[in-house]
Chain A
Amino acid sequence: MRRALLRKNASTLLLFGLSLFLVATAGPLFASQPIVIGGSLPLTGEFAETGKLIEKGMKFWAEEINAKGGLLGRPVEFKIYDDESNVGKAVTYAEKAITVDKVDLLFGGYPGTAARAVMPVAEKHKFVYVSMGGHMKSFEQGYTFSFGAPPLMGEWWYEGFFQWMETIPADQRPKKAAVYTMNNPVGSSLTGSIQKWTKQLGIEVVIDEKYNLPLPDATPLIMKAKQLNCDMLFANGFFGDGVMMIRAAKALDYNPKAILQGIGSVVPAWIKELGKDGDYVFSGTSLFNKLNFPGNDKLNAYARKEFNIDGYPLYFGFGYAWMQALAQGVEGAKSLDQTKIRDWLKTNKIETIAGPMTFDEKGLPAPINFCTQIINGQVELVWPLNVRTAEPVYPKPAWK
């Protein structure tokens, strides 16, 4: 009797245990647990502007993929920490996402200094890390899990501009260049290509100076360039110092044939805040809202609706493109196994809003050489020819 009771108990227990096991394992199959993608972005502090745009780009991607039935048939969900623009925090939050939240995927961060510090962490934890990277040097450290899809690569930034300049008859090219570069990783990544190309095109670099941020005043810099008759100006800076250069150039009626403003002119504030004075500035990019690749019009429509601007902001696109790349890795590998995702990405072609890409052993696509110019308050693509949206305005008209 007693034994029977015991046996009965044991069997119920077993049954209970079995059903528990079944519920636990089958749960995900039926309820389709979300895929969690985690990491940190600078949502407050110095880099909040770009961090917030990237966040919006990623969320737009998630909305879209969830509407289509999710990734591997599971909905996606973000776990985003605010690293307060602090590199140390970006590192610990990456670890938090990986080890505490046990996220399925890691998303790429911003800015370059943070990406440079998070890349080794992703490598240690063997997590695929698709981000803008921290320029060429960071991709040369031998990391195998890091991808730039597309990267924000200072070394490639002016490539398109110079290729276009090469098509200009030699006698119409600028003769003398003034190069002012901010002293930080972004700035120093730009200088190599400037040196190489100016030599190749026979442009004499008369001024080649670095400055530390914050730039107190741009007037002396512009005046010097004007005095030395530099007919080409490189203002390799962020937004704040870039604006000061342009305004000083206008105030001093300094009219070089071409002005290149590297990084600052790619944020929407350039056109919105600076207005007409921001026109005719050349820059580069690695993805752009007027490209014909599938997806760009969708993003533009969204930007029109949400931000009330024509053409999505660059960093919004970056956030979206990185998630596109990661998602294709997952779909391609048909698994959330990080090594499989990495191997798939290394050997297959992916499609992003920045175009199709394949990755080399550094995790980089083939060099991107888009050149942009701001014409009549619109950013236009002027190089390469197959994606051109407008004729470049050269030489730059005099200030009004």
Chain B
Amino acid sequence: MTIKGKAYIAGIYEHPTRHAPDKSTAQLHAEVAKGAIEDAGISKDDVDGYFCAGDAPGGAWPMVDYLGLNTKKLRHVDSTETGGCSYIIHLGHAAEAIAAGKCSIALITLAGKPRTGVMPPRAAGAEVDFESAYGATTHNAYGMCAMRHMHDYGTTSEQLAWIKVAASHHAQYNPHAMLKDVVTVEDVLNSPMISDPLHRMDCCVVSDGGGALIVTTPEIARSLKKPLVKLIGHGEAMKGPRGGKDLDLTYSAGIWSGPRAFAEAGITPKDIKYASIYDSFTITVLMQLEDLGFCKKGEGGKFVADGNLISGVGKLPFNTDGGGLCSNHPVNRGGMTKIIEAVRQLRGEAHPKVQVKNCDLAIAHGTGGLLGVRHAASTAILERV
């Protein structure tokens, strides 16, 4: 059994807003749903599968009702919650449901407003009494990974800075990007230290916004007008300290989700023309590139240096919308925009200055949770037909 080629991404929409104090969170979900439905050229009454995560107010049934989805037709729902990579997992689950005949047109939505106000806290896990007092946040949890990666492999702040530099080179062409200025390695190193060894410019932005996808069958996709983009491989995985044995914060669950996706797709990292890699922090990108097999473990620093991630300059163009480091990070969850930019690249709809030539194979990869504590990862490999 495989989902290879069983599902196509027929509709994408990224909300242009980066700050939405004048809108409700549910409204943003509706606006991105409408955008993806119109991009695909279908009717909302055709949707028979709905996928959402923890950002959807009230969860699946209030959202299905609010969005006015056709409940006589809707026959598959999935509210898998794995933080920022939820939507990459949803993409795989939608393909599984489509392959099994459980739905034929799936809608996936993400939206929220962390820039406008504080997000509701996540429910506590069994670890709460043994961890919550220590103040793990995204900044310091990823700082702990970077600190150990530097210790074990000699990775430097300069190398991490190159990831931000590459993202900024792409963001200058994105009219919606929050940070459009091209920055240098020195700019990153001179920005204030937030949580050692991560500087402010090693961190992503905080933004309101959202995005949505329409995933459908090959037959329906071919009946629509958009360029054809199909899912050919998918993987998901989780990792945590697991009782504290052999703790190793220098790799992520991507070390398992990546090979699963590549095996299903029947390709290798060398075949990838464009990579959307979750960039909550520069270290997130570096570790995931290693884990996915774009370079050996410990060699991520050398791999990302000297513009290797800049479109038209380096060997692996990444996050050509500017990513979370420069463009947006809706709801503190980067998975959705990673898929959307990968689809733009495969359709040939990326900005001409960053469009990868002959882009026929792309990867969208993300993590959710905290790499320095416990997290999920998901990998999707997409092909232009």
Are these two chains actual partners, yes or no? no
What is the interface of chain A, defined by CB distance below 8 A to chain B? none
